[in-house]
Every structure is written in C-alpha cells, then in structure tokens.
Copies of this chain bind each other. A is one copy, B any other.
C-alpha cells in the first residue's frame, strides 16, 4: 500500500522511489506545475507534479490539478532535493516528484477549514476533521505516550492490571451515580462506578499484591471545563504497605514517566507538606509552587486595631487575618483592585483591604486610619511591603480567608507574570479526617469513608473526631491535584466506627457496604493506594488548558456528544424491555 510515511521522507531517501498515502493538505496549481502537500500522522511532505519528456508527466499534472483539499491519495514518485528547503519540518530538504497519483477517496468540500478557527461546537461535531490537524494529533499522541509509559513502568514492577466491573452497584461516594435499568431484574438497576475504590480494596483482600488499572470512572455532576461525565484514572492499590511505600513508589513512577515522555527531570524528592501548612502558606490544598508568593498571617499585629472586620477575625479561634504581598502591584488601578475584590468575593470574602506604596514611597491604604503609625508600619514590615508593591488583606473565618487569598495568589501570579516555567510537584499529607457540613449538620469525609484515620484506637477517633488527621495524601503538580490516595481502613470495627461518625447507620452500611465489612473480617491485609487523573496529566503534558483536547470524543459542558448526537430519545418499546418509562412531565415536582 505504501513504502514510507509522508512525514518521515528525508534526505536519506534522495533518488529512491517511494509510495506514500495521505491526505492532500494543500494543492497549489502553478499551471505547468502542481504542488501537493501530502499529510499523514507523521507529518507533511511536498509532492510536485511536473511535465516530463514522456506523456506520463502530462497525465500526472492533469491528475494533480484535480486534487482537492483532504482527498485521500496514494502517490508514487522519486525523492529529490528541494530547491527552496523548508528547515521547519523534517521533510523540508526534499520533495517527491510524482509519477503516479491515485485518488483512493475523493473528499467533498469540507464544512470548515482548520485555519478558520471554528468554534468548539463545530470542532466537536466534525471531531474527525479536528483530530486530523497536526496540533490535535500531537496532543493525542502525548496522551498515548503517557499511558504507554505508565503501563510499561508498572508491568515491569509486578503490578497486575485487573479489570473491575462497569455495571455495578449503586454505592454513593459523594457524586451522583449513572443508573442502568436491569432487563432481567424488573425494577432494579446497575450503577456505573464513580471509581473502582471498593473493588480495588477487595482485590487486596483477595490476595493480589499490587494492582493497577487505567480505569474509566463516571460521575453525573454538573460539568465544568475540566470535568467530563466519564473520565480516566490510573488506579493503584498495594497490599502490606504503609504510606511511605506507596508514596515513594508512585513518586519514582511519576519522575520516570516525566523523563521518558517529556524529557523533564523532576525533583529527586518531592517536597512534603501538611495540609495545615499548605493552607497557611498558600491558602490552598493544591498550591502552585511555581508562584513564589506566600500568605502572611497578621492576626497578632491587627488584633488591637480599630478596624472591626480585622479585630473580630483576629480574636476568633476559628478566624484568620492574612496578607498577600504582590511585588510591583502598586501599579494596580482602582478598577483593577475592584476586580481582585470581586474575585475574592467568589470564594466568600466579604471585602478586600489593601495597602500600596508607590515608587516614591507614598503609602495609599483605606485601612491606614485604623492603625497607630507604628502599628501600621509594623504591619507593612511584617508583610514585607516595598516601594511599588501592593498588599491585600483578608479577614474572616479560616477557610474563607484561605480560599479567597489563595485564589488571589493565583490571579496575581498570572497577572504579574510571576509563574515560573517548569514543574513543581509536591505531596500534601495529614488531611483532616472529617469536615463538618453545616448544611447537613454532620461530618463528611474529606477523602472518602474508607480512608484510615491516623489514630491509635476507635475510642481515640471518637473523642477527637474534629481534629483527627487521616492517612490520606495528594500529589500536586503546578497547582493541580493530579493524584490522591490513602492508607485504607483494614479493620471491620474501625470501618463501622467511621461509618457511624459519618452518620451512616448500621443498616445503611450493611446494605451498601456489607460485602466490604464482611471481607474486612476474613483476613484483610493492611493496604493503601492512590489514583491519578490521566486526563489532567495528559493535558498538562500536552500544554493545553482543556482536557477535551486529550480525549478523542469528549462531551460538551451540557453532557452531549455533538458528533453522534448522544444522548437521544429511544423508542418506548426499548424502555419497556428494561421495565422503565420516561416520567410524566410535572410528576417530579408534585
């Protein structure tokens, strides 16, 4: 069919006859000559059809003149050195003088051209045309390389790739399940797994030692830019381990895979930081360490000032007053400062105080008046404010201040070009075991209900639930949580106690997780694991913001596949076979 790939034809082939297959990227008809850029997955090569002594030349020129954009061609010709080399591409030193041009499939005029920069809806409807562009080919290939490198690494180290069911039991882990009506069991449903969490734990109890799976997971949640209904994670679990074994192993994996796929050398040891430290210094449990800015706690310095918002928070044990200094930030206009305040408000902040010093040393701050001169100087010194800088101040409850100031830190990093190049991985550890949910008036699990607490006994956990720390850990890279895991509970009584603290009664626990509680009784080894978000890591590696660029057939934010038209209505007969019907309009609201 072909002897070479278009994108790999180079000087080594000069003088040789080659047969190539590909798409006509561009055809330029110069009268006697026709140039065709022929494209395959490896790249583009220039083909020239030109008159020759015999009749063949004229035939080839005529055939070439008829070639249209995206026609599927097979071309045989001789490789020769080009008169006007193009150093930008691998094939740029040569061209192929066509001897035979076959049209394998004629293309109709395309609905759009890539260079027209069509909207994403059009790109998704004609996904096959979009994917055919070199940029999308490169992004998708990055994903393939990532997955391939991960598997090779794991296979070489005795990790067993084991598939777990897609049709499984509804077991809420926070998000909404997708349901699948069961034909053979009237009125019953399977659910698609939110993750293989319980199955991988069961596998450890089933005698497997090291498990992994590139697993599809499903969450029926509102879609955001970086969320899909279905997503892919590298799911791993280890038997007979503690957190150090898991962390050291996967850290080495990430390092090796980044070296192989990206040619990048990550830190020899990833920094480890407790959740509390991350919140204090960066206002985030996934800090982007490429940005050098840190929050500064100033409660001690403001607790006696006359600004009520500061003093209230500074004197509240659950409060926080924190400052963020932005070097060069004095250039921010009143309007831009308002934008920062609006951004902080999205994360719950009720206001945003600031102080700036212009290049001449003049201070401008609406809160200066609440301070004695010395006290205000001490405050600005603590924050490290210098000429040309601005500092923002947040005051309120600990979480709101951390979240909002953390968000401002990211915004400032982007706005002031303070994001260093490169890769900054780290571990976050010592997460709180529980978070108090004000709305539901109960504890919820910060990781998931199967995470082991770092306590000595059940009694200990019950007494100190509020402050208990879990054995969970996240791997963070450039401000993205790329992996999360934990050592699991491997004791049935402890698991029941945690369910109880989470407000899951004995009966509910038995109904939903009975098989886990059983399995924990019959010889469950200590175990733990982690899951990495493949879509996100691939997007980071491919240098794109959107995970949709590294998913062949993504859904829109309205949960549709614009190419196939899914979801779609189905005949009622088909619904009857699985014993369901569409609810009557309004019936839900009754």
- A residues near B, CB below 8 A? 1-2, 5, 21, 23, 39-42, 70-72, 74, 104-105, 107-108, 110-111, 126-133, 137, 140-141, 144, 147-148, 151-152, 155, 160-171, 176-192, 198-199, 202-203, 205-209, 216, 218, 220, 229-230, 232, 239-242, 245, 490-491, 514-515, 518-519, 521-526, 551-553, 555, 558-561, 563-570, 574-583, 587-588
Contact = CB atoms under 8 A, between A and B. Distances in A.
Nearest to A154: B148
A216 B558 CA distance: 25
Contacts of A524: 72, 105
A242 B171 CA distance: 47
A139 to B, nearest CB: 12
Given A180-B179, A181-B179, A582-B187, A202 B148 contact: no
* Prevailing SS type, chain A contact patch: loop
Q: What is the copy number of this chain in the assembly? A: 2
Given A240-B1, A579-B582, A107 B151 contact: no
A381 to B, nearest CB: 50
A71 B152 CA distance: 34
Contact of A525 (B72, B110, B180, B205): B72
A161 B144 contact: yes
Contact of A155 (B40, B129, B152, B568): B152
A218 B162 contact: no
Given A209-B40, A523-B23, A580-B581, A160 B185 contact: no
A206 to B, nearest CB: 4
A4 B137 CA distance: 45
B189 A569 contact: yes
A371 to B, nearest CB: 52
A144 to B, nearest CB: 5
Contact of A1 (B165, B171, B242, B553): B242
Contacts of A521: 107-108
A127 B577 CA distance: 30
Given A242-B1, A521-B107, A144 B169 contact: no
A179 B140 contact: no
Given A131-B208, A165-B561, A515-B564, A110 B185 contact: no
Contacts of A40: 207, 209, 240
Contacts of A41: 207-209
Contacts of A574: 170, 177, 179
